[in-house]
Amino acid sequence: MLRQIGEFYHQGEKDDTSRVWMTCWHHGGRILASCGDDKAVRVWSLVGEPDSKLRLECRTTLDDSHARAVRSVAFSNDGKLLVSASFDASVVIYQQEEGEFTEVNKLEGHESEVKCAVFSKSDEFLATCSRDKSVWFWQQDEDEDFSVSSILQPHTQDVKQVVWHPTEDLLVSCSYDSSIRFYRYDGEDWVTQQKIDNCHVGTVWSAAFDAEGHRLVTVGEDHVIQLFVRENIDSKSADQDTWKSVARLEVENTRWPLYAVTWNSENDVIATGGGDSKIRLFKISSKSSDSPIIEHLGVVGSHEYDVNHVAWNPKFSNILSSASDDGTIRLWELEI
Amino acid sequence: MEDSGFSGVVRLSNVSDFIAPNLDCIIPLETRTVEKKKEESQVNIRAKKTKNEENKQKEDKKSVKISLADCLACNGCITSAETVLVEEQSFGRLLEGIRNSKMAVITISPQTITSVAVKLEKTPEELAKLIASFFRRHGVKYILDSSFARQFAHSLASEELLLTPSTSRPLLSSACPGFVCYAEKSHGDLLIPKISKIRSPQAISGALVKGYLAKKEGLSPCDVFHAAVMPCFDKKLEASREQFKVEGTEIRETDCVVSTAELLEELGKEDVGEEDVAEEDVEEENSWTTSLSRGIIIGEDGGASGGYADRIVRDFVAQNGGIVKTSKLNKNMFSTTVESSTTGEILLRVAKVYGFRNVQNLVRKMKTKKEKTDYVEVMACPGGCANGGGQVRYETMDEREKRLAQVEELYEALPRGNGCSEWMESVREEWESLDTNYKNLLFTDYKPVETNVAQTLKW
C-alpha cells in the first residue's frame, strides 16, 4: 500500500547520522525542510516526477542559528518564511528569497526547550509551545519584527505540539499532561476555547485536522488514535465551536507510543508514525459524525528506529515524507 | 497552582514547575555528600553495627536545607515545596511574630487599603483606621504607610536617571519583585545593569524599621518584627532576598509579607466593625508612624503602581520645563514624552509597561536596541499593582473589571501631600545622626541567577 521510494540521510553519511525530528513541505510540494539533533535545518528540493524517479536533493544547510537540537521546522503558508524551534529555547525565522534562506529574526522568551512553532493559515500569527508549559502567540509588526501577542499557560506539563485549523484562527495544543486545549482570538487576546482532559492515557503527542477542519485526530503515548468532531458545524464558526470525541482505536500489537499523525487533504488517508518504527495508515469509515469508525489499514512501512514525524505532500497527494531516529528522511508513495 | 497569587512572570519562570526526573537541585551540589553505597550492606543486615560505624553514618548524612532564597535560583526541583515555603509567610506566622517580639511594626500598601475598601464598601480613610486598630489590638506598635517609604525612593529617582548615561538607558523601575526576579533569572546580562538600584518601598520600609526605628527605640533588630501587607505574593519572595537582611546578620528587614486577600480573610474572621475602631488619641503626635492609624493616607500622582514614571516626568519638567504629551497604547502600555516648548525636540521619553507579554516585547526591543525610552516603569502584572496577584479576588470577569476600576479611582482620589516631605526630612536628619551610612540602605543590587542544569546540557 505504501512503497518506499527514497531514503535520505539528514546529516552526513550512514555512519554519521543523528535523529531527524521533523519534515515540513512547502505549499508547492516541491520543497521540503527538515531538522534534527545536529542543530541544523536543511532545505531539500523534490526532484523528478511521480511516475519517474522522485528524489530529494539537499539545497541548503542552515546550521549556525541554534545551539541545541532543532525540534520543529515549518514554512509559512505563503512560503516566504521558514521557522525553526529549538531546544535552546529560541525560535528562528528565516526569510526565503529565490531559494536562498537568511536568518532574519530570533524569538526568545520561552524558558525551556521549544517543541513546536507554526504559522496560522493566514500567516498572521505564529504559535510556539514549550516544555515550560506555555503556548505563545506572536504577531508580525510593521518593522517585520515579531512581538508577543499573548502568553498562555494552560497546561500543567510540557506542551508537545501546536496545530492550526486549516481555515480559521483556531489552535489546538497537545501536552504531556494528557490533555488538549483549543484557543481562539477574541479580538484582543488569545483565550482558551475548550479543554479536553484525559484525551489519552499519557502524553498526547500529535494532532491533525482534516481538510475542511470539521474533524481532528490525536495520537498519544497509549498508542491510541482518537477522532474528534466539531459539534455545531452548521451554526458556529470553528473557533467558537466545541469538539467531542466520537471514536478511538487502540493499535494492537504494539506497546510503543504513536508520535505523529498527518491527515491527507485529498484522499482522507491518515498516516501515523510511532515508537515502534512503523508507519501505519488509517481511514475513517463513514463521513457521518454519528458513528464513524477508525479503520486501521495496516503497517505499511518502517524505519529502523522511532518515526518522529510524518507529512503528506500538499501537492502530490500520494507522497508521504517521514523523519526518524535512524537519521533518515524517507519518501513513500501511496498505492491504492 | 493557577491562582496562587504570584504574578504571571514569576509563575512562568519559577513556581509551578514540577520536578523532572533528570533535573538536579543546583544548590546543595556543594553541600550534598554522596552517600556511598555500601557494598556489603546486604550482608550486614543482621550484623550488629559497631558504635563507631553508627556515629560515622550519622556524620555522613548532612541534612540539606533549602531555603526560600535558594529557590529563587532554580528552575526545577522542589518548587511545589517552594509554594509551601512561601505559604510559611502566613498570617498565623505574622501573629506569632508579633507576639514573640519586643516591638512590632506593620507596613501597609495603599493598594491594599483601596482594594479592601472597595470590597467592604468603606472609604480608604475609614479602612485605614480599621486596619490600624485591628493590628493595634494584636500588639503592633506602629502601622506605617508604604507610601512614606516610597517618597524616599521617589526623591532619589531623578538623580539616578541623570547619572545614567544614554547608553545604559532605559532605566527600569525596581519596585516590582516579579520583574526583578525574572530579570535575574532570564536576560540577566541585558536587564540587570539597567534596573534602578533604588530599593522598593517595602525594602525601604524594612530599612526604616530595623535600621532607624529600632535604633531610635534602643532595640536590636532581632527584637523587632516587621511585616508588610502587599498586593502580591511576589513581595514574599522579595522579603527573603539576601540583600534585604540586616547587615552582618541573618535577620530579615521584613520578616513576613502577607497579601491583601490574606488580610481580608483575617479581618473577616474577627468580624471587625466600626465600633472597634479605637478612639483617636489626641495626645498622639501626627507623624508618619501614626498617620495611617488616624486615617491619613499618602496619595500620589501617576497611578496605582507607584507613580514612578510620573514622578520622573514631573521632576524633569520642574527642572527643565517642556510640554508633556502622554499616549495610551493599550490598557498596559503608556508612553510619555517631554518636548521642548521652543524647538519641539523630544527631551525625555518615559513609558509604563505592565504585564508579562509587554515585558517580553520590551525585552525584545531592548535586545535589538530599538527601545528609545529613558525610563520605563515596569510591572509584571497586567493592570499594575491595583490588579496584583494578592489583591481581593472576584468571581466573574465583569466583576473583576468593575472592581479594578473602582480601586484605581479610589487610589487616584487619595489626598496628596499630607505633611510627607517634612516627615521625610526630619527622619533623614535623625537617621543620619544614628547612622552616617544610612543612605546605603536606600539602595540595593541584583545578581544574575544560574539557570537550571538542563539548559547547559549539550543535546
pLDDT tens per residue across span B138-177:
999 999 999 999 999 999 999 999 999 988 999 999 999 9
Q: Is A48 exposed, middle or buried (0-12, 13-18, 19+ CB in 10 A)?
A: middle
Q: What is the pTM of this model?
A: 0.79
Q: Which residues of A161-193 are buried (b: 16+ CB within 10 A; e: fewer)?
A: bbbbbbebbbbbbbbbbbbbbbbbbeeeebeeb
Omega cis (within 30) before B170 = yes
Other C-beta atoms closer than 10 Å to the C-beta of B419 total: 13
Interface probe with B: pick from A151, A177, A188, most Cβ of B within 10 Å: A151
- Assign B12 a pLDDT band (cuts: 50, 70, 90): low
Which residues in chain B touch residue A111, judged by CB atoms under 8 angstroms apart? Answer: 12-13, 75, 186
Q: Nearest 5°: phi and psi at B27?
A: -75, -55
* pLDDT at residue B331 tops 70: yes
Q: What is the pLDDT, as a whole number, of residue A158?
A: 92
Quote the DSSP letter at residue B249. Answer: S
* pLDDT at residue B33 tops 90: no
Closest alpha carbon within chain B to A147: B361
Q: State the cell numbers at A205.
A: 503527542
**Positive or negative, the Cα torsion across A70, B455, A259, A185?**
negative
Give the residue among B240, B234, B212, B233 at the shortest CA–CA distance from B142.
B212
Give the residue among B414, B406, B404 at the shortest CA–CA distance from B300.
B414
Q: What is the pLDDT, as a whole number, of residue B107?
A: 96
Asked if residue B456 is part of any domain, the answer here is: no
Q: What is the pLDDT, as a whole number, of residue B85?
A: 56
* pLDDT at residue B82 tops 70: no
Identity of the residue numbered B244: F
Contact A109 B364 (CB under 8 A): yes
How many Å apart are CA A113 and CA B451, to the nearest integer? 13
* Strand B375-379 to B171-172 pairing: parallel
B37-41, B77-81, B448-452: which range is least confident on average? B37-41
Strand order from edge to edge, sheet including A70-75: A70-75, A81-86, A90-97, A100-108
* Strand A135-140 to B256-259 pairing: unpaired
Which residues in chain B touch residue A153, judged by CB atoms under 8 angstroms apart? Answer: 8, 11-12, 16
Q: Does B80 touch chain A (CB under 8 A)?
A: no
* Domain hosting residue B188, numbered range: 80-273+284-442
How many Å apart are CA B161 and CA B319, to the nearest integer? 13
Structural contact between residues A46 and A22, judged by C-beta atoms closer than 8 angstroms: no
Identity of the residue numbered A294: I
H/E run at residue B373: none
Which residues in chain A touch residue B452, judged by CB atoms under 8 angstroms apart? Answer: 112
Asked if residue B391 is part of any domain, the answer here is: yes
Structural contact between residues B316 and B348, judged by C-beta atoms closer than 8 angstroms: yes
Which residues in chain B touch residue A145, judged by CB atoms under 8 angstroms apart? Answer: 364, 368, 370
Residues 6+ apart with CB under 8 A from A167: A121, A212, A213, A238
Closest alpha carbon within chain A to B15: A132
Q: Nearest 5°: phi and psi at A191?
A: -130, 155
Contact A111 B364 (CB under 8 A): no
Identity of the residue numbered A149: S
- In chain A, residues 76-135 whose CB comes closer than 8 Å to chain B: 87, 89, 107-109, 111-112, 132-134
Contact A111 B16 (CB under 8 A): no
Q: Does B367 touch chain A (CB under 8 A)?
A: yes
Closest alpha carbon within chain A to B362: A147
How many Cα atoms occupy the beta-carbon half-sphere of A250 within 13 Å? 10
Q: Does B368 touch chain A (CB under 8 A)?
A: yes
The angle formed by the CA atoms of residues B405, B7 and B331, to the nearest 5 degrees, is: 35
* Strand A31-36 to A243-250 pairing: unpaired
How many Å apart are CA B70 and CA B81, to the nearest integer? 12
Structural contact between residues A230 and A212, judged by C-beta atoms closer than 8 angstroms: no
Contact A69 B459 (CB under 8 A): yes
Longest dimension (CA), chain A: 56
At A157-183, the pLDDT tens digits run: 999 999 999 999 999 999 999 999 999
The CA distance from B257 to the nearest CA of chain A, in Å, is 26
How far from each other are the two terminal CA atoms of chain A, in whole angstroms? 6
* pLDDT at residue B442 tops 70: yes
Structural contact between residues A248 and A294, judged by C-beta atoms closer than 8 angstroms: yes
Count how many domains chain B has. Answer: 1
Q: What is the pLDDT, as a whole number, of residue B449?
A: 79
Give the residue among A302, A204, A216, A208 at the shortest CA–CA distance from A258.
A204
At B368-388, the pLDDT tens digits run: 888 889 999 999 999 999 999
Contact B8 A151 (CB under 8 A): yes
- We report the CATH number of the domain holding residue B87 as 3.40.50.1780
More confident residue, B425 or B58: B425
Q: What is the pLDDT, as a whole number, of residue B62?
A: 54
At B258-288, the pLDDT tens digits run: 999 999 999 988 766 555 555 555 556 778 8
pLDDT beneath 50: ranges in chain A: none
Q: State the cell numbers at A306.
A: 522511532
Asked if residue B262 is part of any domain, the answer here is: yes
- Mean pLDDT over the full length of chain A: 91
Identity of the residue numbered B149: A
Which CATH architecture group holds A2-334?
7 Propeller (2.130)
**Positive or negative, the Cα torsion across A312, A315, A316, A322?**
negative
**Positive or negative, the Cα torsion across A197, A198, A203, A204?**
negative
Strand partners, B443: B198
Structural contact between residues A179 and A172, judged by C-beta atoms closer than 8 angstroms: no
DSSP string, B183-231: HHHSSHHHHGGGB--BPPHHHHHHHIIIIIIHHHTT--GGGEEEEEEES
The CA distance from A144 to the nearest CA of chain B, in Å, is 13
More confident residue, B59 or A311: A311
Of B12, B363, B368, the CB nearest to A134: B12
* Interval B441-449 mean pLDDT: 91
How many Å apart are CA A322 and CA A258, to the nearest integer? 13
How many Å apart are CA B115 and CA B122, to the nearest integer? 10
How many Å apart are CA A302 and CA B306, to the nearest integer? 63
Q: What is the pLDDT, as a whole number, of residue A130?
A: 94
- Mean pLDDT over the full length of chain B: 81
